Amino acid sequence: MLLHILQRTPVWVWLMLAALLVMGLSQLRTRQVTPARLSVLPAVLLVMGVWTMAPGFVALPLVGGLWLLVFGAATWAGRRLPPPAGARWLAPVQRLQLPGSAVPLLVIVGISSLRCGAGVAQALHPAWRTLATVQAPLALLFGSLSGLLLGRALAVRALAVRSAH
């Protein structure tokens, strides 16, 4: 069964996974990024989560409201996390210097696995797309992970704003 699922996985899914893994691996080393570049990963993972949840939002609008509520709360919480130790704004080059970390790679693998698992499960059991007992936990997971990532990126971007004043 697993081989069948892997063979039927569209090529674009593998390409997206490869791109995300490259993004995650690049964050293992200290790097300099523009504030805009810092938003790319949270935005991509946010779109992936919403894409996975879209059938649930259509079938169960309250699940969409739950996702939005959790996303907002997690973004707020992530915004209050301290920036990584060693992160700083480099005014002369207008870039953020970020220390290397395995956390983004682990988050990417986790969210991608969750998204893939949810997609496969719902393809095998289409009725799950309309079950609140399936969609609500997914909304909680995707909303909280997407919100925390976005909030964390906003917290790090704030280093540039604080340094400018």
Report the chain's terminal Cα–Cα distance, integer Å: 58
Residue 6: the pLDDT is: 76
The better pLDDT of the pair 72, 8 is held by 72
Query: Nearest to residue 105, comparing CAs of 20, 14, 24, 6?
Result: 24
Full-model pTM: 0.83
Give the mean pLDDT of the chain.
88
| 138, 5, 113, 19: CA torsion to nearest 10 | -120
Is the model's pLDDT at 152 over the cut of 70? yes
The better pLDDT of the pair 5, 110 is held by 110
The mean pLDDT of 27-48, rounded to a whole number, is 89
Long-range contacts of 31-34 (CB under 8 A, 24+ apart): 31/97, 31/98, 31/100, 32/90, 32/93, 32/95, 32/96, 32/97, 32/98, 33/95, 33/96, 33/98, 34/94, 34/95, 34/96
Is the model's pLDDT at 71 over the cut of 90? yes
Share of the chain above pLDDT 90, in %: 42
Residue 1: the pLDDT is: 78
Residue 164: the pLDDT is: 57
Cα(62)–Cα(67) distance, rounded to whole angstroms? 9
Is the model's pLDDT at 165 over the cut of 70? no
Cα(158)–Cα(89) distance, rounded to whole angstroms? 9
Is the model's pLDDT at 84 over the cut of 70? yes
